[in-house]
Amino acid sequence: MLPTVIAILVGAALLALSVYAGARRRRRFDARAAVALRAGWRTMPVDPALAEAGNRIFAPGAAEHQVGADGFQAVDFTYSASRTSTAAKCHLVSIRLPAPLPPLAVVADNPIARGLGVPDLELESAEFNEAFWVNCEDARYASAVLQPRLMEWMLAHRSLQWRIEGSLLVTWGPGHWTVGGVTSAVVGLNGVRDRIPAFVLADYRVNG
């Protein structure tokens, strides 16, 4: 009898804790949404292209709570690296490019990956090569995008990492999005987009 009573009490306590945690989470998201609304943002359906970018950057997961305004969008993304791992919470921010382009990724240099021989394109700037890892199947295209002005911008914004996903220029970070974090990310992404040469948009445009 006593073990049954203890099991019931433990179950009730866990249920109450779950309800409390859920209510607290909803209040936090409601407060964030109110701040976003005051900033002039609006909620919107999840962009499938942005969700798919999350699947490629992290692992297959779920995108939710998308917001945006003219020129950008942001979404929460949750995924598990394995069936036994705790779900990781992160977010993605994107702006739209004038034309869809082939895939290209620029992230912080990874000494472990370098040691394992993971391909890394070498560009004209030794300082840039030491700071960043570039993943692209077309070295000429990558060099055209990452011209000196853009490499200089990246060296002045070393925490910025980004990927070209068709018409989207995407960056990401840990935890759910915040208004301040998204605002900063958009500034960085605009700096990248503004430094992509016009001939790249014409010569490397992806059709279809």
> Is pLDDT above 70 for 32?
yes
Report the pLDDT averaged over residues 152-168.
95
Report the pLDDT averaged over residues 40-60.
94
Range of the domain at 19: 1-38
Same domain, 66 and 32: no
Same domain, 112 and 184: yes
Same domain, 62 and 82: yes
CB atoms within 10 A of CB 199: 9
Same domain, 120 and 21: no
Is residue 183 included in any domain, yes or no?
A: yes
Number of domains making up the chain: 2
Same domain, 89 and 172: yes
Same domain, 49 and 109: yes
Same domain, 124 and 141: yes
Same domain, 186 and 112: yes
Threshold 0.85, pTM exceeds: no
Is residue 208 included in any domain, yes or no?
A: no
Q: Which residues pair with 132 in a beta bridge?
A: 108
Same domain, 12 and 95: no
> Is pLDDT above 50 for 15?
no
Structure tokens at 2: 């006593």
Same domain, 50 and 82: yes
Q: Nearest CA to 169 among 199, 138, 201, 144?
A: 201
> Is pLDDT above 90 for 99?
yes
Same domain, 19 and 73: no
Grouping H, G, I as helix, E, B as strand and the rest as coil, residue 159 is coil
pLDDT of residue 97: 97
Q: Are 104 and 136 in contact (CB under 8 A)?
A: yes
Give burial (CB, 10 Å; 0-12/13-18/19+) of 116: exposed
Same domain, 20 and 94: no
